[in-house]
Structure 1
């Protein structure tokens, strides 16, 4: 029995066949990998089915974002339509184009440092194109920051914008300086260096970039970004936060200075303008990415704390 048979009743499968315009559903797959939706995979399109009413607003945001991205030739899925059919699915279904590609998640376990650096270089260019869209052109429905997730667990997760609260970065910085054996006076320098990063003007961001959203083509290059449910006008560094990623990227935490430099320099070249230096970005993201002392319950988080301190000492010597 396939996932399609498990999730959809026979009448729903018949309605799906009608909507796809196919004589039968062989070769049509359903995946439930996403937290928020099921995806019906047809050869030339994907149907996105919200798992519950809580996730309908996210699909609405994506449907609003995709035409804008298409207008500016951003490599993202194209909106093919929406389906409102209670006999097929109780919530509006979004239909998008399908990439002939795999996500970075399929490659990262076998990737070496050069491959990760190449991927981030390509990703930086794509993000720059998205951030260059004039905010005045963003539809009103996504012209505000992404709201908190309706899922209680997700709502507790920290995002980049959470660190913009007054005093939060300063508090973390003093604790890290002590852990790194550096004088507290260095924090004043850090705050001076990262201030231009914090003051960057809002842009249209994806805000949920991770290994599952980055599509890689046959030539191993980034060819698109998927899952725009969290799109909104917010701080541009929201798209540079490895805290949105899974475990894979942190296998390279000792090399984050190399990776962030490739990531940011690619972005800065493509976007242009007066942007902060990569060292400032690396310093800020190192600070906010540190596992808190109270969260060091596992060997993995304790190791990450050690790597954060080592990275902080290294970048402190550069600024």
Structure 2
């Protein structure tokens, strides 16, 4: 099926004709139907985002609030919003088109380079003043936003959400427990940022040289703990998810990130300790959360065992 015919899955002929007139799209259109929440029609310089159904409208509006707020070359900019029943029963949006391809498996050297580029980009996005962030984004998508931007004690954090301190502290001795709890408290005290919170390789674009060219799909973005962008729980291709050495991906991300953030941050050792404890809890068979929901039981068991070994080494 050619692209023009496939576009009919989103816009029938009469809708497409009006869409071209209203949005001034004369050239070819490439449809993308693989998004979980939206259909995307790609024009030469713009991407048009259509919610899949009425339940997604609010999330797509949140996503476009991010694009209207973030000013970074690796993040699309919001160009327009339309409410036109003759085109779509739901509002739809246009953003700048970012070009590239989703990364597949990478060599360790390329993985480190791309992770470093991503960490640097996250630092710039996280440095955005919360005064610029729309109220709709002051919480995660499944919570009502507060009356004011949240503080570190009020914002969502994966450590607090899972009760990591309460569950892991009893597993270690008294001296090690003090070190662990200090790290968890320090990491949890990071100031909230406008975070992506759904990062994995399917939401990245690389250009022909293998350089990071875009960070896509900010629909779960919000004012949250910076830590949500470092849990690395959704990465799923072999080179990203297997981590030849436990914690490598996080270390590459965090090192580049910390070098560029303007805010004071915990050390890598504290972050590594906190996220290792997070893995132990998030991957426990009895844990009911959205983390790692796409991973097999075998993968989770292997990862949890690696986290337990790493924790013992860090606290030795």
Would you call these one fold, judging by a TM-score over 0.5?
Answer: yes
Give the gaps of 5 or more residues in structure 2. 144-154, 288-294
Q: Partner residue of 1:147?
A: 141
Moved more, 307-316 or 258-267: 307-316
Which whole-Å deviations, capped at 9, do the CAs of 1:71-98 have from their partners, x for residues lacking one?
xx45311211112111211111010111
Equivalent pair of 1:160/1:241 in contact (CA under 8 Å): no
Q: Partner residue of 1:153?
A: none
Alignment root-mean-square deviation, CA: 2.7
Q: Partner residue of 1:6?
A: 9
Q: Partner residue of 1:215?
A: 205
CA distance in 2, matches of 1:77, 1:240: 21
Q: Partner residue of 1:293?
A: 285
Q: Normalised by the size of structure 2, how large is the TM-score?
A: 0.83
Q: Partner residue of 1:102?
A: 101
Tell me by how many angstroms 1:297 deviates. 7.2
Equivalent pair of 1:82/1:94 in contact (CA under 8 Å): yes
Q: Would you say 1:265 and 2:265 are equivalent positions?
A: no
Q: Partner residue of 1:48?
A: 49
Equivalent pair of 1:79/1:97 in contact (CA under 8 Å): yes
Look up the SS of the partner of 2:201 in the other structure: coil
Q: Partner residue of 2:290?
A: none
Equivalent pair of 1:202/1:234 in contact (CA under 8 Å): yes
Equivalent pair of 1:74/1:126 in contact (CA under 8 Å): no
C-alpha distance 116-134 of structure 1, shift in aligned 2 (>3 A): same
C-alpha distance 20-211 of structure 1, shift in aligned 2 (>3 A): same
CA distance in 2, matches of 1:218, 1:136: 37
Q: Would you say 1:131 and 2:126 are equivalent positions?
A: yes
Q: Partner residue of 2:79?
A: 80
Q: Among residues 111, 114, 118, which one is paired with 2:113 in the alignment?
A: 118
CA distance in 1, matches of 2:158, 2:163: 9
Q: Partner residue of 2:165?
A: 170
Equivalent pair of 1:3/1:31 in contact (CA under 8 Å): no
C-alpha distance 260-91 of structure 1, shift in aligned 2 (>3 A): same
Task: Give the structure with the larger helix fraction.
Answer: 1
Equivalent pair of 1:69/1:75 in contact (CA under 8 Å): no
Equivalent pair of 2:203/2:217 in contact (CA under 8 Å): yes
Equivalent pair of 2:165/2:184 in contact (CA under 8 Å): no
CA distance in 2, matches of 1:10, 1:57: 27
Q: Partner residue of 2:241?
A: 250
Count, aligned residues: 293
Q: Among residues 233, 237, 244, which one is paired with 2:223 in the alignment?
A: 233
Look up the SS of the partner of 1:224 in the other structure: strand
Which whole-Å deviations, capped at 9, do the CAs of 1:144-180 have from their partners, x for residues lacking one?
112218xxxxxxxxx9724314x811233147x4xxx
Q: Partner residue of 2:88?
A: 89
Q: Normalised by the size of structure 1, how large is the TM-score?
A: 0.82
CA distance in 2, matches of 1:246, 1:94: 29
Look up the SS of the partner of 1:48 in the other structure: strand
Look up the SS of the partner of 1:190 in the other structure: helix
Moved more, 185-194 or 43-52: 185-194
